[in-house]
Amino acid sequence: MRIGVMGTGAMAAALGGAWARAGHEVFVGGRDGAAAAALAGRIGAAGHGSPAAAAAYGEVALLAVPAGEAPALAREHAAALAGRTVVDCTNPLEPGPGGVMLSIAPGRSVAALIGAAAPGAHVVKAFNLAHSSVWERPAGAFGAVPPAVPFCADDAGAAGRVVELITGMGWSPMPAGGLDRAAYVEATAAFAIGVWWAGGSPRLAFPEALA
């Protein structure tokens, strides 16, 4: 698959690197050309250039930028993103007095804002629940049961592409409904990161129920 990565930070490196290792053609697009070139070299990307070039590169585009920037970036590149699968890994978070808070109104999601900003794009919310370092672990590092990547999508073709990306990394896809449920996945990140920063282990909160 051809994947244009928009951003050159931690998530661009982690996901772009994992997809390059899985055999996909990854293109790194950054507003800092030197950073894009350096990251492309580091992860073995097929090419590098501007965010505009990344948006126009492949079947899939990854928005790996701050949540507050993502809708405007999608709007700027809406024409190029039309018809493509746009993966949104952002988390709209901000510090609050009691811990991590959502920086978006309850019930709203960055994924939906991206969809509204680029109406022809097929937005998929995914990859926002684990720290960037986790995606850099090799396939098989988690034992017999691969961890899951919840994703929300409205378009079946886009969902299928993201399933292929997830399984190619050695993870397990977890369909979590349409884009109208992306707000729940984003709020789950606020919960989990809040627990994690407080020294807890959020995954321990979800044991299997008895059948």
Ligand X SMILES: NC(=O)c1ccc[n+]([C@@H]2O[C@H](COP(=O)([O-])OP(=O)(O)OC[C@H]3O[C@@H](n4cnc5c(N)ncnc54)[C@H](OP(=O)(O)O)[C@@H]3O)[C@@H](O)[C@H]2O)c1
Using CB positions, name the residue nearest to ligand X: 9
Task: Give the one residue of 51, 115, 150, 173 binding ligand X; rule: CB under 6 A.
Answer: 51
Given the complex with ligand X, which of 67 and 152 has the nearer CB atom?
67
Instruction: Mark 127-166 with x for binding to ligand X (rule: CB under 6 A) and - for no binding.
Output: -x--xx----------------------------------
Task: Give the one residue of 66, 168, 177, 202 binding ligand X; rule: CB under 6 A.
Answer: 66
With binding defined as CB under 6 A, does residue 69 bind ligand X?
yes
Binding residues with ligand X: total (CB under 6 A): 23
> Which residue is listed with tokens 């850099």?
136
Residues in contact with ligand X by the rule CB under 6 A: 7-12, 30-32, 35, 51, 64-67, 69, 73, 89-91, 128, 131-132
